[in-house]
Protein backbone atom coordinates (compact mmCIF):
# COMPACT_ATOMS: atom_id res chain seq x y z
CA UNK A 1 0.00 0.00 0.00
CA UNK A 2 1.58 3.32 -1.06
CA UNK A 3 2.06 5.98 1.56
CA UNK A 4 0.61 9.42 0.72
CA UNK A 5 1.18 12.57 2.67
CA UNK A 6 -2.07 14.47 2.61
CA UNK A 7 -2.68 17.85 4.23
CA UNK A 8 -3.82 16.19 7.49
CA UNK A 9 -1.12 13.55 7.74
CA UNK A 10 2.41 13.85 9.06
CA UNK A 11 5.13 13.47 6.40
CA UNK A 12 7.22 10.30 6.37
CA UNK A 13 10.34 10.74 8.47
CA UNK A 14 13.72 9.78 7.08
CA UNK A 15 16.20 7.49 8.76
CA UNK A 16 17.30 8.17 12.34
CA UNK A 17 13.99 9.90 13.12
CA UNK A 18 14.73 13.15 11.23
CA UNK A 19 12.50 14.64 8.55
CA UNK A 20 13.76 13.89 5.04
CA UNK A 21 13.02 17.43 3.86
CA UNK A 22 12.94 20.88 5.41
CA UNK A 23 9.95 22.34 7.20
CA UNK A 24 6.76 22.29 5.16
CA UNK A 25 3.43 23.99 5.45
CA UNK A 26 0.15 22.08 5.49
CA UNK A 27 -0.05 22.36 1.69
CA UNK A 28 3.36 20.72 1.30
CA UNK A 29 5.18 23.90 0.18
CA UNK A 30 8.53 24.74 1.73
CA UNK A 31 8.36 27.36 4.47
CA UNK A 32 10.52 30.47 4.24
CA UNK A 33 13.64 30.60 6.42
CA UNK A 34 12.73 32.05 9.79
CA UNK A 35 16.08 33.82 10.27
CA UNK A 36 16.90 32.19 13.56
CA UNK A 37 20.37 32.10 15.09
CA UNK A 38 21.08 28.88 16.96
CA UNK A 39 23.18 29.53 20.04
CA UNK A 40 25.22 26.97 21.99
CA UNK A 41 27.42 26.96 25.09
CA UNK A 42 30.97 26.22 23.89
CA UNK A 43 32.31 23.12 22.16
CA UNK A 44 30.23 20.77 24.34
CA UNK A 45 27.04 22.52 23.27
CA UNK A 46 28.04 22.39 19.60
CA UNK A 47 28.88 18.69 19.83
CA UNK A 48 25.62 17.93 21.66
CA UNK A 49 23.51 19.67 19.00
CA UNK A 50 21.62 16.93 17.12
CA UNK A 51 21.62 16.90 13.34
CA UNK A 52 20.48 14.68 10.50
CA UNK A 53 23.11 12.89 8.36
CA UNK A 54 24.55 14.81 5.40
CA UNK A 55 23.77 18.23 6.87
CA UNK A 56 25.60 21.27 8.19
CA UNK A 57 24.80 24.23 10.41
CA UNK A 58 26.47 27.30 11.86
CA UNK A 59 26.11 27.57 15.64
CA UNK A 60 26.92 30.79 17.50
CA UNK A 61 28.65 30.53 20.86
CA UNK A 62 26.84 32.23 23.75
CA UNK A 63 29.95 33.43 25.60
CA UNK A 64 32.84 33.75 23.13
CA UNK A 65 33.11 35.36 19.68
CA UNK A 66 33.11 31.94 17.99
CA UNK A 67 30.95 30.37 15.31
CA UNK A 68 30.92 26.57 15.20
CA UNK A 69 30.50 24.87 11.82
CA UNK A 70 29.00 21.46 12.48
CA UNK A 71 28.81 19.00 9.58
CA UNK A 72 27.63 15.41 9.49
CA UNK A 73 28.52 12.73 6.96
CA UNK A 74 26.25 10.05 5.52
CA UNK A 75 26.61 7.88 8.61
CA UNK A 76 25.70 10.77 10.93
CA UNK A 77 29.23 11.30 12.33
CA UNK A 78 29.74 14.97 13.16
CA UNK A 79 32.72 17.25 12.70
CA UNK A 80 32.79 20.53 14.66
CA UNK A 81 35.11 23.33 13.47
CA UNK A 82 35.41 26.66 15.36
CA UNK A 83 35.82 30.02 13.60
CA UNK A 84 36.48 33.31 15.36
CA UNK A 85 34.17 36.23 14.72
CA UNK A 86 35.34 39.83 14.85
CA UNK A 87 33.39 42.99 14.07
CA UNK A 88 34.04 44.43 10.65
CA UNK A 89 36.13 47.60 10.65
CA UNK A 90 36.33 49.63 7.49
CA UNK A 91 39.83 50.59 6.38
CA UNK A 92 40.68 54.20 7.23
CA UNK A 93 40.67 56.53 4.22
CA UNK A 94 44.04 57.28 2.68
CA UNK A 95 45.18 60.87 3.09
CA UNK A 96 46.50 61.51 -0.43
CA UNK A 97 47.76 65.01 0.39
CA UNK A 98 49.79 63.78 3.35
CA UNK A 99 51.14 60.90 1.28
CA UNK A 100 52.20 63.26 -1.53
CA UNK A 101 53.96 65.52 0.99
CA UNK A 102 55.86 62.56 2.46
CA UNK A 103 56.92 61.35 -1.00
CA UNK A 104 58.13 64.85 -1.96
CA UNK A 105 60.11 65.11 1.28
CA UNK A 106 61.66 61.69 0.66
CA UNK A 107 62.57 62.67 -2.92
CA UNK A 108 64.23 65.83 -1.62
CA UNK A 109 66.25 63.90 0.94
CA UNK A 110 67.36 61.35 -1.65
CA UNK A 111 68.21 63.91 -4.34
CA UNK A 112 69.98 66.27 -1.90
CA UNK A 113 71.62 63.44 0.02
CA UNK A 114 74.80 65.43 0.67
CA UNK A 115 75.32 66.55 4.24
CA UNK A 116 77.40 69.55 5.31
CA UNK A 117 80.33 67.40 6.40
CA UNK A 118 80.32 65.22 3.26
CA UNK A 119 83.17 67.15 1.65
CA UNK A 120 84.99 68.09 4.85
CA UNK A 121 88.67 67.24 4.87
CA UNK A 122 88.64 66.23 1.19
CA UNK A 123 86.52 63.15 1.89
CA UNK A 124 84.83 61.51 -1.05
CA UNK A 125 81.19 62.32 -1.73
CA UNK A 126 78.73 59.94 -0.01
CA UNK A 127 76.18 58.14 -2.17
CA UNK A 128 72.60 59.43 -1.99
CA UNK A 129 71.08 56.03 -2.78
CA UNK A 130 70.04 54.30 0.48
CA UNK A 131 71.11 50.87 -0.81
CA UNK A 132 74.54 52.22 -1.78
CA UNK A 133 74.81 53.85 1.65
CA UNK A 134 73.97 50.52 3.28
CA UNK A 135 76.59 48.72 1.19
CA UNK A 136 79.17 51.37 2.11
CA UNK A 137 78.29 51.02 5.80
CA UNK A 138 78.65 47.23 5.63
CA UNK A 139 82.14 47.61 4.12
CA UNK A 140 83.00 50.11 6.85
CA UNK A 141 81.59 47.94 9.67
CA UNK A 142 83.28 44.75 8.44
CA UNK A 143 86.74 45.89 9.55
CA UNK A 144 85.74 48.12 12.45
CA UNK A 145 86.30 47.22 16.08
CA UNK A 146 85.52 49.37 19.15
CA UNK A 147 89.24 50.15 19.55
CA UNK A 148 89.59 51.21 15.90
CA UNK A 149 86.45 53.35 16.21
CA UNK A 150 87.84 55.13 19.27
CA UNK A 151 91.20 55.72 17.52
CA UNK A 152 89.40 57.14 14.46
CA UNK A 153 87.29 59.50 16.57
CA UNK A 154 90.38 60.67 18.47
CA UNK A 155 92.21 61.25 15.15
CA UNK A 156 89.27 63.30 13.80
CA UNK A 157 89.10 65.36 17.00
CA UNK A 158 92.84 66.06 17.07
CA UNK A 159 92.97 66.99 13.36
CA UNK A 160 89.98 69.33 13.68
CA UNK A 161 87.91 67.36 11.16
CA UNK A 162 85.36 66.78 13.94
CA UNK A 163 84.33 69.39 16.47
CA UNK A 164 83.55 68.68 20.11
CA UNK A 165 79.87 69.45 19.39
CA UNK A 166 79.81 66.86 16.58
CA UNK A 167 81.44 64.38 18.95
CA UNK A 168 78.70 64.99 21.56
CA UNK A 169 76.02 64.47 18.88
CA UNK A 170 77.72 61.26 17.81
CA UNK A 171 77.76 59.99 21.40
CA UNK A 172 74.06 60.80 21.84
CA UNK A 173 73.18 59.01 18.59
CA UNK A 174 75.23 55.97 19.63
CA UNK A 175 73.46 55.79 23.00
CA UNK A 176 70.05 56.06 21.30
CA UNK A 177 71.07 53.37 18.84
CA UNK A 178 72.22 51.05 21.61
CA UNK A 179 68.96 51.54 23.50
CA UNK A 180 67.17 49.97 20.52
CA UNK A 181 69.07 46.75 21.25
CA UNK A 182 68.30 46.92 24.97
CA UNK A 183 71.90 47.56 26.01
- pLDDT tens for the 183 residues of the chain, in order: 455 555 555 555 555 555 555 554 555 545 555 668 889 999 999 999 999 999 999 999 998 999 999 999 999 899 999 999 888 888 888 777 777 888 888 888 877 764 444 444 444 565 567 777 777 777 777 777 778 878 888 888 888 888 888 888 888 887 777 777 665
**Cβ atoms 81, 69 nearer than 8 A:** yes
Tens of pLDDT, residue by residue over 53-101, are: 999 999 999 989 999 999 999 998 999 999 998 888 888 887 777 778 8
The H-assigned helical ranges of the chain are 42-48, 96-111, 130-142, 146-159, 164-180
Q: What is the dihedral of CA 106, 107, 112, 113, to 10 degrees?
A: 50
What is the per-residue pLDDT for 18? 53
- How many other CB atoms are found less than 10 A from the CB of residue 104? 10
Handedness of CA 44, 49, 53, 54 (dihedral sign): negative
The overall average pLDDT reported for the chain is 75
What is the per-residue pLDDT for 122? 45
What is the per-residue pLDDT for 60? 92
What is the per-residue pLDDT for 47? 92
From first CA to last CA, the distance across the chain in angstroms is 90
- How many other CB atoms are found less than 10 A from the CB of residue 23? 10
What is the per-residue pLDDT for 106? 83
Bridge partners of residue 82, in order along the sequence: 68
- As a whole number of angstroms, the distance between CA 136 and CA 139 comes to 5
Helix (H) / strand (E) element for 70: namely: strand 66-72
What is the per-residue pLDDT for 70? 94
For residue 170, give Cα distances in angstroms to 7, 54, 159.
Answer: 92, 72, 17
Amino acid sequence: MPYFCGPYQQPYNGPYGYPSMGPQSASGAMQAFGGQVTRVNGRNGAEAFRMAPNSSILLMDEHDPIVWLKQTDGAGYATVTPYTVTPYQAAPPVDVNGLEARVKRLEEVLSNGKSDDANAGGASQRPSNPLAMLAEFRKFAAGMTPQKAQQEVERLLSSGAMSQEQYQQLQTQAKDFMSLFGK
